[in-house]
Amino acid sequence: MIRAILFDMDGTLVDSEPLHHIAMLEVLDKVGVALPDTFAHDSTGMAMPAVYQLLRATTSLQMAYAELVAAKYAGFLRRAGEIAMRPGAQQAIDAARAAGLAVAVVSNSDRMLVDASLAVAGIARPDMITVTRNDVREGKPHAEPYLRAAWLLGVAPHECLVVEDSTPGAQAGLAAGMLVVGWPEPHRQDLLFPAGVHTLAGSDLAGFLQQFI
């Protein structure tokens, strides 16, 4: 029996992935570094440390990690007002709560970005459980973020349903022993989710989740 739904944030609840990409492009352009054409695809769902390692491996980037993070986050926060809910996401949250299920947000982004995004999108509420990259030792695809959310909610992993738009996130949910729904962004139908993930291609996430809750 499902007692909680754990939502990823970027690309799942909010349409923020383009803003992350623009912020990164601006930082790298200032230091004369070009992103590979496949960067947006390859970095989907990654935490910032992994993104930095990907950049170091595929570009001429010489910036220190802390310098890159500070510049990129500043650029993202300047545009935070542009963040909007992904169509179908609010209805899914409302349906989960109407069914008496606990709701949490589990993100690979840092706390300052998660809090800003949830506030702008109007999702934040005083009792909401959120787990960010700052709250765990290992980010997705490790199971720790989702296991921590289950612990904070007081539910068992097998009582949780995870909604993710990325492969690393789906891997994290599966590793945590949870039911996983893959909900790729409309332009990312190329994503291949691991075996065992229930994939939705449309926007009626609330309706799709009904079969599990």
CATH code for position 196: 3.40.50.1000
Structure confidence at residue 69 (pLDDT):
92
Query: The domain spanning residue 68 has which CATH number?
Result: 1.10.150
pLDDT for 42-55, tens place per residue? Answer: 888 788 888 999 99
**Above 80 in pLDDT, residue 64?**
yes
Number of domains in the chain: 2
Q: State the angle between helix axes of 65-78 and 111-121 in degrees (0 to 180), rounded to the nearest 10.
A: 10
The answer to whether the beta carbons of residues 147 and 170 sit under 8 Å apart is no
Asked whether residue 86 carries a pLDDT value surpassing 80, the answer given is: yes
Residue 46 is predicted with a pLDDT of 82
Do 93 and 198 have their domain in common? yes
Same structural domain, 108 and 93: yes
Among 81, 96, 127, the domain boundary falls at 81
Using DSSP's 3-state secondary structure scheme, residue 182 falls into strand
Q: What is the pLDDT of residues 129-147, one digit of tens each?
A: 999 999 999 999 999 999 9
Domain match, 40 and 9 both: no
Domain, as residue range, for 133: 4-15+83-209
State the Rg of the chain over Cα: 17
- What pLDDT digit, counting tens, does each position of 162-197 carry? 999 999 999 999 999 999 999 999 888 788 899 999
Ranking 48-62, 84-98, 138-152 by mean pLDDT, the lowest is: 48-62
Contact 82, 19 (CB under 8 A): yes
Domain end marker among 81, 96, 125:
81
Residue 196 zone, left/alpha/beta (φ > 0; ψ -120 to 50; rest)? left
